[in-house]
Amino acid sequence: IAGITQAPTSQILAAGRRMTLRCTQDMRHNAMYWYRQDLGLGLRLIHYSNTAGTTGKGEVPDGYSVSRANTDDFPLTLASAVPSQTSVYFCASSDSSGSDEQFFGPGTRLTVL
C-alpha cells in the first residue's frame, strides 16, 4: 500500500441499506477526512479526525458516522442510505504540520437507488 486506498471503487445500493466505505492510509498521518463531491458544489467535508480516538463533524454530517480506532483506518458508515447520498466520496489525510497539505484517495462512487 502506498498513500491512501479506498474501497469499494464503486457501489450501487438500495435505499435503506447500511453501507461502510473503507479508507486506509500508510503515511502515519494523524488527521483524516471524508468529503463528498457533487457537481457544481465542489468538495464538502462530512467528518474529520484530528487524531486516533477523536472525530468531528464537518459541513454535511447528517446521515453519516465515522470511527477512528487507529491511525491508519477511517471508515465512513451510512446507517440507512438515501438517494441524496448518491455522490463520489473522497477520503484524505494530512500530517497537520507545515503546509497542512491533504492527500486524497481515488474515491468511491456511490449510487443509492
Partner 1 sequence: GEDVEQSLFLSVREGDSSVINCTYTDSSSTYLYWYKQEPGAGLQLLTYIFSNMDMKQDQRLTVLLNKKDKHLSLRIADTQTGDSAIYFCAESWGDYKLSFGAGTTVTVRA
Q: Which residues bind partner 1 (CB under 8 A)?
A: 4, 31, 33, 35, 40-45, 48, 50, 58-59, 90, 92, 94, 96, 99-107
Is the preceding omega at residue 75 within 30 degrees of 0, hence cis?
A: no
Nearer to partner 1 (CB atom), residue 33 or residue 64:
33
In angstroms, what is the minimal distance from the CB of 43 to partner 1? Answer: 4
Q: Contacts for 60-68 with beta carbons within 8 Å, 24 or more apart?
A: 60/36, 64/34, 66/34, 68/32
Nearer to partner 1, 54 or 80 (CB): 54
Report the residue number, 38 or 80, with the smaller CB distance to partner 1.
38
